[in-house]
Amino acid sequence: MTAGTGPRIDAHMPGSYQILPERGLVYVRYEGFVRLQEAQDLFADYQTKPDAHPGQKQLVDLTHVEDFERDFPTLMAMQAEKADTFLSKGHQFFMVFVAPTEKAQAMGRILVAPWKGVNGVVTSMQYDEAGALAILGQPETSIADMLRSTV
């Protein structure tokens, strides 16, 4: 999968993703009301792509999240599935959340917390795009500029 491809955001999906293989990065964007089953479906779709592989850094943009489903047992099961996928073969899993709003920060805290203390997993929640991109070693200061330069 190349930049600009992948599921598109629409009324039935909470988000989209773009695999940026030349950067070793996956950009994930959620918006609106995020339902866990839809997020799980998005992750399942990602796993089927030939450019998806353990060790890719994840940039998760929560900027446009209005609210999210709070089903903690399902969330924990999803996180366990991600751990199985991303930590296979000894790879490190690096995930940075962009969360500039109060709702986004609430969701980000819930997504970051289960990973604390998990060996091989590094997570961070940033309040702006520039900070998130800097942590990921990207030269751009906005996600839009990063996506434009990858096309």
Domain of residue 63, CATH code: 3.30.750.24
Q: Express the helix, strand and coil content of the chain in percent, nearest 5 each.
A: 40, 25, 30
Find out whether 81 and 43 touch, Cβ atoms under 8 Å: yes
- How many independent structural domains does the chain possess? 1
- What stretch of H or E contains 111? helix 102-112
pLDDT at 6 over 70: no
Q: Is the dihedral of CA 34, 113, 17, 142 positive or negative?
A: positive
Does residue 10 form part of some domain?
Answer: no
pLDDT at 10 over 50: no
Does residue 141 form part of some domain?
Answer: yes
Does residue 68 form part of some domain?
Answer: yes
List 61's β-bridge partners, or say none. 29, 98
Does residue 83 form part of some domain?
Answer: yes
Does residue 87 form part of some domain?
Answer: yes
Does residue 102 form part of some domain?
Answer: yes
pLDDT of residue 151: 67
Does residue 8 form part of some domain?
Answer: no
pLDDT at 77 over 50: yes
Strands 57-68 and 25-34: parallel
pLDDT single digits (tens) 54-75 = 888 999 999 999 999 988 888 8
Q: Give the range of the structural domain holding residue 116, as residue numbers without chain letter.
A: 15-150
Read off the pLDDT band of 118 (50, 70, 90): confident
Read off the pLDDT band of 79 (50, 70, 90): confident
Does residue 92 form part of some domain?
Answer: yes
pLDDT of residue 89: 67
